[in-house]
């Protein structure tokens, strides 16, 4: 069953010169999750931040830290991000040889586990992972950069995963599994993503545009 809509502003679009203040501002504005994009310049063509920055930001918000690891190999770094304060750790199945083992590692550290699907990653990758994960992230752009346009074909993938999640959740007495979408989410694309079945929207530019005085308005617009 689709859960209430939650908004996860991506700090990739925040002012990095004042990142702690930005996290505080987006928290005060009504964000549900704080989405942290971690890129390594290898798995994706960009470099962002590491666990030290996550640790530094942790005191600035009591919201769920939704940490998306776009790095390979991923397993060696999972414990560091867990210790730094991540609440959800999401990885790509292509980022290591044994996706199920990575899920087990994340859960063993007391964190929620997420699996992320790139635009070219088939939906059935999640079939044997869904009983154990807490979140599925559908990338509606190719990962690596903010500000890209939403890929419409992602809507079919969201709908297909919605059906899979509902079936697994029902078999596990209604255990919630987030269906998150990331990439090109704005006021004009959010309704279609929600209609397809997404219940967590990652939004960078759409959340942080206009400065901190507009953050609450931006988040409200996405939620509606």
> Which residues are known to be catalytic?
37, 182
Contact residues for 184 (Cβ-Cβ < 8 A; gap 6+): 140, 141, 148, 149, 150, 151
Q: Are 93 and 115 in contact (CB under 8 A)?
A: yes
Q: Where are the beta strands (DSSP E) in 120-199?
A: 135-139, 178-182
- The two tokens of residue 58 are 């942790």
35 annotated binding-site participant:
yes
147 annotated binding-site participant:
yes
183 annotated binding-site participant:
yes
68 annotated binding-site participant:
yes
From the list 133, 135, 67, the residue with the least C-alpha distance to 100 is 133
182 annotated binding-site participant:
yes
10 annotated binding-site participant:
yes
CB atoms within 10 A of CB 177: 23
- The two tokens of residue 188 are 């004009």
Sheet containing strand 112-117, edge to edge, reads: 6-9, 200-203, 178-182, 135-139, 112-117, 88-91, 64-70, 33-39
Q: Which residues of 55-71 are buried (b: 16+ CB within 10 A; e: fewer)?
A: eebbebbebbbbbbbbb
184 annotated binding-site participant:
yes
Residues annotated in a binding site: 10, 35, 37, 68, 144-147, 182-184
Residues annotated in a binding site for substrate: 10, 68, 144-147, 182-184
Residues annotated in a binding site for a divalent metal cation: 35, 37, 68, 182
């Amino acid at each position: 069953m689709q859960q209430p809509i939650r908004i996860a502003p991506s700090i990739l679009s925040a002012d990095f010169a004042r990142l702690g203040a930005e996290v505080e501002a987006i928290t005060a504005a009504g964000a549900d999750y704080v989405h942290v994009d971690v890129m390594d310049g290898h798995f994706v063509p960009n470099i962002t931040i590491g666990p030290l920055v996550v640790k530094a930001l942790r005191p600035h918000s009591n919201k769920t830290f939704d940490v998306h690891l776009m790095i390979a190999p991923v397993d060696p770094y999972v414990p560091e991000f867990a210790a730094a304060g991540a609440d959800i750790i999401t990885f790509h199945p292509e980022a290591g040889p044994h996706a199920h083992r990575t899920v087990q590692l994340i859960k063993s550290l007391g964190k929620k586990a997420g699996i992320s699907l790139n635009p070219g990653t088939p939906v059935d990758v999640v079939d044997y992972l869904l009983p154990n994960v807490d979140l599925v992230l559908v990338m509606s752009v190719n990962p690596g950069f903010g500000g890209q346009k939403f890929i419409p074909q992602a809507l079919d993938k969201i709908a297909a995963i919605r059906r899979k999640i509902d079936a697994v959740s029902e078999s596990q007495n209604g255990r919630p599994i987030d269906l998150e979408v990331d990439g090109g989410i704005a006021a004009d694309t959010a309704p279609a993503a929600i209609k397809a079945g997404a219940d967590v929207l990652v939004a960078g530019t759409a959340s942080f545009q206009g400065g901190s005085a507009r953050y609450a308005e931006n988040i409200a617009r996405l939620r509606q």
